[in-house]
A and B are shown apart, each in its own frame.
Chain A
Amino acid sequence: MKLAVCAKGEGLNAEVDQRFGRCPFFVIVDTEKGEVIESLSNENAQAAGGAGPQAAQLLAGRNIEAVVLGNVGPNAIEALKAARVKVYSGVTGTVEDTLKKFLEGSLKLVAEATVSSHSGMRK
């Protein structure tokens, strides 16, 4: 499956980012092969508003089935649900570390926002 991991940089060795809508990159991984498909630059990371739903739109447009993130706001989680993208929380260390946790099945599915609106702007 195609999995997105919120990251500060590109590739498997990139450090993860706790923010969803405002993380600089989504590293897209093929979970079966354990390979990076692409490191997708998040063009709306600096948007004045609506970064979360725009990020969801970006992932939906690439048929991504699940995303691993740290925190997610109320608009972003609604948008991810509408796009039927599964949401896991618990990014740790690097993209590779996070992928390992995902494959072990130790990540939690998230159904509700974990932070309030605009939390990603305060970091």
Chain B
Amino acid sequence: MLNLAIASGKGGTGKTTIAVNLALTLEKESTPVQLLDCDVEEPNAYLFLKPEFTHKQSVGIPVPSIDLDKCSFCGHCAEVCAFNALAVLKDNVMILSELCHGCGSCAYLCPEKAITENDRPIGIVESGTVNRIFFAHGVLNPGEAMSPPLINAVKELGSSDALKIIDAPPGTSCPVVAAISDSDFCLLVTEPTPFGLNDLDLAYQMVSRLGISAGVVINRSDIGDSEVEDYCLKNKLPIVQKIPWHLEVARYYARGEPAVKHLPEWQLLFKELYENILSLWEGAVRK
């Protein structure tokens, strides 16, 4: 089934709002759906969905540890490390675990087989259900920089039996690429402001490089200017839905309440949004 990523260059445009309201709309339509919150630095979809977590697991990345009795201090491990996580200093080896990406090259290529790998915890994944929605997210340890392995662990909890909604982190860097890389379609959420446009452009360049079909959701579409729409038109980037600003929605949001639960017109907006994605996706598959 469709693997749908929801991303944005700019933060605070409404990714989580879209992800949660879309999941609830689809559930109501009896479409099997799962929501994977991959914004592991600031997961917040659970605040709105309020799932009951039934599974919790620590996630780590393998970092090297050196048996100094076997080590010949040849320096090969430091040479092959792309992230300066090892320094060979005469008869000592310094390991900078926080720089290690866990690729395993040092251990694999050590001529003396002096390196073993131990997991360094970086965060946890939690999953559970709320009504018929399967929900999972990751929580990165405070101060931790290495989020992609945790994002991949969240994604592994998903299944191919139900429509998958990936709530991606904001921006265009490694964590976003990890979150959206195997998606069929990517929704780029933006707002009609100069900031929104600047970051939409960055995000569109990113998905184009990754070869993922994309469409735009303009949130708070009745504020700002028309430059985002002009940009989409110029780049033949489809606008999937426009969501107007709405005081009641903001009030529900502040109470941790998804708007589709209370406003029938929002359900229609999201139903239409989904239908538009499906027809774009089917069009892309046919091509």
Contacts and interface: CB of A to CB of B under 8 A. Distances in A.
Contacts, number: 48
B83 A49 contact: yes
Given A47-B84, A57-B78, A57-B88, A79 B99 contact: no
B94 interface: yes
Given A49-B99, A50-B96, A53-B96, A60 B90 contact: yes
Given A50-B99, A79-B94, A83-B92, A57 B87 contact: yes
Interface residues of B, number: 13
Contact of B89 (A44, A49, A51, A56): A56
Interface of B: 75, 78, 83-85, 87-90, 92, 94, 96, 99
A44 B84 contact: yes
A50 B87 contact: yes
A84 B92 CA distance: 10
Nearest to B92: A82
B84 A54 contact: yes
Interface residues of A, number: 18
B83 A82 contact: no
Interface of A: 44, 47-51, 53-54, 56-57, 60-61, 75, 78-79, 82-84
Contacts of A78: 94
Contacts of A48: 83-84
B89 A79 contact: yes
